[in-house]
Amino acid sequence: MSKLRVNCFSVSLDGFGAGPNQSVDDPLGEGGETLHEWFVPTRTFQQMVLGNEGGTTGVDDDFAARSFTNIGAWIMGRNMFGPIRGPWPDENWKGWWGDNPPYHCPAFVLTHHERAPVTMAGGTVFHFVTDGIEAALERAVQAANGKDVRVGGGVATVRQYLRAGLIDEMHLAISPVLLGSGEHLFADIDTASLGYRCTEHVPRQNATHVVLTK
């Protein structure tokens, strides 16, 4: 049976998953890039996202590699797909990742505006879902064909699935930085009453890795 997973989701010590004032030039918001200093150097990120050789190994890379294991489909919010708001002006924007995004499977983008699927190199196909998180999950589970579904982000999308109690497993990387403002992951969400508990806790220099399951 497919699980709905969140992996490699970086948050600050004060709970923010993105900084304030997100923009085309600053897609993670002010200070948001500092949340991912544990992830970018890893061999998994360098090879799967950037197409480079090398990269660091060890605990951080182990968590990064696990995040891609047994994933058959992705779900993401429109903010994660790109900076365009409102109706699509054209079909030129195809994501932040170039011609070969790192997903390599169907990816379902939550949006209020219809758009035809976009087929990319490497097996990634972006589908645009306008009828809510449950519909996106149903389609993703079907596309995953027995594998797990990963919620990529951003914060608002993860929060919707958390509030609905639909996430089965969540790996957070708590970075040793303070953002002060931005998008808070857990504000007004009672994770304990939803049944989540900590099943893994591994401190490292650039992040403390925490896994929550239910």
With pLDDT > 70 as the criterion, what percentage of the chain qualifies?
100
- 16 is in which domain, residue-wise? 4-86+97-213
The pLDDT value given to residue 39: 97
Segment holding 48, helix H or strand E: helix 43-48
In a domain, 92, yes or no: no
> Looking at the predicted structure, is the pLDDT value of residue 55 above 90?
yes
Instruction: Provide the residue count of the chain.
Output: 214
pLDDT tens, residue by residue, 1-31: 899 999 999 999 999 999 988 877 888 889 9
91 falls within a domain: no
**151 inside domain:** yes
Q: Do the beta carbons of residue 166 and residue 133 sit within 8 Å?
A: yes
**Is residue 200 in a domain?**
yes
CA distance 126 to 124: 7
CATH code of the domain in which 184 resides: 3.40.430.10
Report d(CA 177, CA 114) in Å as an integer.
38
Task: Dump pLDDT digits (tens) for 121-157.
Answer: 999 999 999 999 999 999 999 999 999 999 998 999 9
Q: What is the model's pTM?
A: 0.94
- Number of domains forming the structure of the chain: 1
Angle at CA 167, nearest 5°, toward 117 and 70? 65
pLDDT at residue 191 tops 90: yes
pLDDT in tens, 156-190: 999 999 999 999 999 999 999 999 999 999 999 99
Residue 21 forms part of a structural domain: yes
CA angle 180–188–154, rounded 5-degree value = 65
Q: DSSP secondary-structure letter at 56?
A: B
111-123 burial by CB neighbour count: b if 16+ within 10 A, else e? beeeeeebebeee
d(CA 195, CA 83): 34
pLDDT of amino acid 148: 98
